[in-house]
Amino acid sequence: MYKVCSKNCYFWLTLIKPEKATRLKRKFITNLLLLLFLNVLIKPFWIFGIDLTVQNMVGDESYGLYFSLLNFSMILNIFLDLGITSYNNKNIAQHRQLLKKHVSNIVGLKFLLAGIYAVISIAIALIIGYKDVQLHLLFFLIFNQFLISFTFYLRSNISGLHLFRTDSLLSVLDRTLMIAICSVLLFTNITGHAFRIEWFVYAQTAAYLITSLITFAVVLARTGKLKLQFDRRFFMVFLKKSYPYALLILLMSFYNRIDSVMLERLLPDGKEQAGIYAHAFRLFDAASMFGVLFAGLLLPIFARMIKQKEEIGSMVQFSFLLLFVPAIVLSMSSGFYDLEIMSLLRYSHPELSASIFRLLMISFLGIATTYIFGTLLTANGSIRQLNWMALAGMGINVSLNLILIPHMQAYGSAWASLATQLFTALAQTILAVIFLKLTINYRVIGKLILFAGFVFLAGTLSKQISNWVLGYFVMILVSALFAFLIRLINLKALTLIIQNK
C-alpha cells in the first residue's frame, strides 16, 4: 500500500501545492465540463425522447420483460471482462509503455471471454426458465453486452493515456447513433407507426457495433499495426491480477441490478412490476450516469497520483464536493416533486412510481459517495477490502428483496436498494479514511449538514408556489446559491483553475 498522505494530510484540505494540484484540477474540471455538456446534450433526448417513447408504445409488460433481461445480461457480463477494464485503466495510467503489448494480447482474450460469457448466460437462462421470445431477446442483448464491454476496454486505454477529450466524444457516440436510428423507426411512417421491443434491441446492436469499430480505430492510431496474440501465459498472469476487480464488479452488479430480475421471477405479475420499477429507475440511472463520468475521469488521475506518491487529500475533497453537493439538491428536490415528475412523464402508475422514485433518489446520495471513495480505493489497489464490502452489500440486497418483494412488490425493491446503497457508501468512506490516512474536517461536514437542512427548508417553502415547475426550479436555484454562499463550492476558485491561473 502506498503512503499517499503524510500524518498531517487533511481529506478536506483546501490549500495544497499550487502548481501540480491546479494542473490536475484544471484537467479534471475542463474534461468534466466537456463530458457533462455532451451528456446533457445527448442523454436527456435518449431517455425522454426515445426510451420513454418506446416503453409507452410497447407497454409496461413488454418493456418490463426487456428491462429484466437487460439487467440479467448486465449482471453476468463480468464473465466478459473479468476485471480487465478496471485493472487496465489503472495500469495504463501508471505504465503507458505497455499499451501496444497489452492491446495485442487482450483483444484476443476479450473474444475468448465472449464465448464463455454467452455459454454461461444461456445456460443460466435455461435453468431459471427463460424460453422462446425471452431467449431471442437475450441472444441479442448478450451480443450487445460484448460490444459494450469491448468498447469499454478500448476506451480504458484512451482514458489511461489521459486523452479525456477523445474519450468524452466516444462516450456519447453509441447513444447518438441509437437516437438517429430509433428516431427513424419511431417518428416516421417507415414502420406504419408500429413498434416492437425487438426493434429497439436491434437498433442498439447496430449502434454498439459501429461505436466499437470506431473506438478500435482510434486505439489502433495510437498503437500502430497490431498482431493479435493468444498467449496463454500472458492471459493467466493478467487474469490473476485482474480477477479481484472482476469479483468486485460481479458483486456490485448483483446489488445494483438484481432487483428487476427478482421482481420478474418472483411475482405472478412480475413483468408489469419490473416495468413499473423501470419508470423510476430510468431517472435514477440517468442521474447515476453523471457519477460514472466522475469515476471515469478520477480513476486514472487517482492512480497516477498514488503511483507518484502525491498528496491526494485535496483532490478527493474537491471531486467529492463537486458531485455530492448537486446530489443533495437533486435527491431532495426529487423527493419533494416526485409525483409531479412521474405524472409529467405520463406513466401508467404515477403514485406507485413516485414512491419508488423518492426512495431511489435518496439512495443516489450513496451512489455519489461510492463513485468517489470506491474509485479512490480501486486506484489504491484496496480490492480485497472492497470485495468484502460488496459481498456484504449483495447479501443485504438479495435478503431484503426476498423478504420485501412478496409483500411490497416493486416498492419493496426500492427499500432494498436504499438500504444497500447507504450501507456500501458508508463502508467505502470508512475504508478510504483508514487505508489512505485521510483526516476528516468536521467543519466541512457541518457545512454539508447545514446545506441539507437549508435545501429541505427551500423545498418546503417552494411547495407553496402554485406552479410546481416554477417551485421546482426556484428550489434548485436557491439551493445552488446557498452552496456558493457558504463556500461548499468556491466559484471563484473554479474559475481561476479553468483559466489556469
- Give the position of cell 456558493: 484
pLDDT tens-place string over residues 300-325: 778 878 877 777 887 888 888 888 99
For range 368-375, the mean pLDDT: 90
**pLDDT for the residue numbered 10:** 37
CA diameter of the chain? 69
Indicate the pLDDT class of residue 226, thresholds 50, 70 and 90.
low
Task: Give the three-state DSSP class for 162.
Answer: coil
Q: Compute the distance between CA of residue 38 and CA of residue 21 in angstroms, rounded to an integer.
A: 26
**pLDDT for the residue numbered 8:** 36
Would you state the cell numbers that stand for residue 340, as one nine-digit string? 409531479
More reliable by pLDDT, 221 or 430: 430
**Using N-to-C axis directions, what is the helix angle for 350-380 and 383-408, rounded to 10°?**
170
**pLDDT for the residue numbered 1:** 36
Q: Compute the distance between CA of residue 265 and CA of residue 263 in angstroms, rounded to an integer.
A: 6
Would you state the cell numbers that stand for residue 191, as one nine-digit string? 414502420
For range 84-91, the mean pLDDT: 68
Q: Compute the distance between CA of residue 348 and CA of residue 276 in angstroms, rounded to an integer.
A: 8
pLDDT tens-place string over residues 198-215: 999 999 999 999 999 999
More reliable by pLDDT, 187 or 403: 403
Indicate the pLDDT class of residue 365, thresholds 50, 70 and 90.
very high
Q: Compute the distance between CA of residue 336 and CA of residue 328 in angstroms, rounded to an integer.
A: 12
Cα 299 to Cα 412, 437, 439, distances in angstroms: 34, 18, 21
Task: Give the three-state DSSP class for 300.
Answer: helix
- On the CB side of 374, how many CA atoms lie within 13 Å of its CA? 27
pLDDT tens-place string over residues 117-162: 999 999 998 988 888 888 889 999 999 999 998 898 888 778 767 6
Indicate the pLDDT class of residue 6, thresholds 50, 70 and 90.
very low
Residue 163 phi, psi dihedral angles, 5° rounding = -90, 65
Q: Compute the distance between CA of residue 312 and CA of residue 493 in angstroms, rounded to an integer.
A: 18
**pLDDT for the residue numbered 448:** 93
Cβ contact 323:50 at 8 Å: no
Cβ contact 151:207 at 8 Å: no
Secondary structure percentages of the chain, helix, strand, coil, to 5:
85, 0, 15
The count of other CB atoms within 10 Å of the CB of residue 109 is: 22
**pLDDT for the residue numbered 243:** 72
**pLDDT for the residue numbered 43:** 78
The DSSP output letter for 48 is I
Closest CA to 389 of 417, 430, 359, 360: 430
**pLDDT for the residue numbered 495:** 63
Would you state the cell numbers that stand for residue 93, as one nine-digit string? 495510467
**pLDDT for the residue numbered 315:** 81
H helical segments located in 161-191: 164-171, 173-187
Q: Which of 280-284, 345-349, 358-362 has the lowest mean pLDDT?
A: 345-349
Using the Cα atoms of residue 34, residue 483, residue 340 and residue 462 in order, give the sign of their dihedral. negative
Cβ contact 367:291 at 8 Å: yes
Cβ contact 335:361 at 8 Å: yes
User: What's the residue count for the chain?
Assistant: 501
Q: Which of 3-7, 108-112, 473-477 has the lowest mean pLDDT?
A: 3-7
Closest CA to 215 of 167, 146, 159, 143: 167
Q: Compute the distance between CA of residue 237 and CA of residue 232 in angstroms, rounded to an integer.
A: 9
The count of other CB atoms within 10 Å of the CB of residue 291 is: 21
Closest CA to 320 of 166, 459, 488: 488
For range 364-374, the mean pLDDT: 91
pTM for the full model?
A: 0.67
- C-alpha gyration radius of the chain: 22
Residue 293 predicted with pLDDT over 80: no
The DSSP output letter for 51 is I
Cβ contact 162:93 at 8 Å: yes
β-strand partners of 10: 439
Q: Compute the distance between CA of residue 433 and CA of residue 437 in angstroms, rounded to an integer.
A: 5
**pLDDT for the residue numbered 5:** 42
Cβ contact 261:68 at 8 Å: yes
**pLDDT for the residue numbered 77:** 77
% of the chain exceeding 70 in pLDDT: 85
The pairs formed by 104-109 with CB atoms below 8 angstroms and a separation of 24 or more are 104/223, 104/226, 104/227, 104/228, 104/229, 105/229, 105/230, 105/231, 105/234, 105/235, 105/238, 106/153, 106/238, 107/226, 107/228, 108/228, 108/229, 108/230, 109/84, 109/230, 109/235, 109/238, 109/239
Q: How does the average pLDDT of the chain come out, rounded?
A: 82
Among the ranges 39-43, 68-72, 430-434, which has the highest mean pLDDT value?
430-434
Cβ contact 35:464 at 8 Å: no
